Structure formats: C-alpha cells, structure tokens
Amino acid sequence: MTRAVLFCYLIQVMTTLNYTIMILAALIIAAFVLNLPFGYFRGNTKKFSFKWFLYIHLPIPFIFVLRTLAGFGFNIVPLMIAGAVAGQIIGARFNKARVS
C-alpha cells in the first residue's frame, strides 16, 4: 500500500471515530438532561419512598431506548449511569437551592 492510501484510510477511520465520540457525548448529555427534572422532584420526597424510587428509575427505559437506537452495546452503560447520576444529583441541588 502506498502512503496516500494509508493516509486516506486513516482519515476515514478518524472521521468515523470522531462521529462515534460525538454520538456518545450526546447520549451522556441526554442522560444527564433527562435526569435533571427527576432529580429535582426527588429532592422533595422522603428517602426510600415509592416516589423516590420512581423518580430514580423512571428515566432508565428512555436512556435504554436512546442507547439502543444509537447502536451502542453494554460497554457504554457505566458512562450513561455516570451521566444519569450526575443529573439526579444536580437536579436535587437545584431543588435544595430553591427551597433554601
């Protein structure tokens, strides 16, 4: 193979990689944004109550559908969980800041 062919192949791989990273970042941001209101509402509920459990687990099917439609497997689940937990925590902090 010549250098030009290798260079073209490298550009194609890098473009695909950049596209995948952008989609992955969009999914993590979507998990974060989707969990913000649920974290906000969870901040007012009694810990371990039915509503508290519901506000934590209700966004999970939507995140699963987004991940599946994007074509990602289970290997990105920890990143999605990190985005979802961050959204829950920040949403609860928004609620506490509003109340106090």
- pLDDT tens per residue across span 32-55: 999 999 999 999 899 999 999 999
Query: Once rounded to an integer, what is the mean pLDDT over residues 19-23?
Result: 89
pTM as predicted: 0.84
DSSP result, 12-66: HHHHHHHHHHHHHHHHHHHHHHHHHHHHHHHTTSPTTSHHHHHHHHTTHHHHHHH
Does residue 11 belong to any structural domain of this protein?
no
**Domain carrying residue 95:** 24-99
**Which residues make Cβ contacts (< 8 Å) with residue 67, sequence separation at least 6?**
27, 76, 77, 80
Q: pLDDT value at position 5?
A: 78
Residue 13 falls inside a structural domain: no
Note whether residue 63 is domain-resident. Answer: yes
User: How far, in Å, CA of 18 to CA of 57, rounded?
Assistant: 31
Query: In whole angstroms, what separates CA 58 from the centre of its chain?
Result: 14
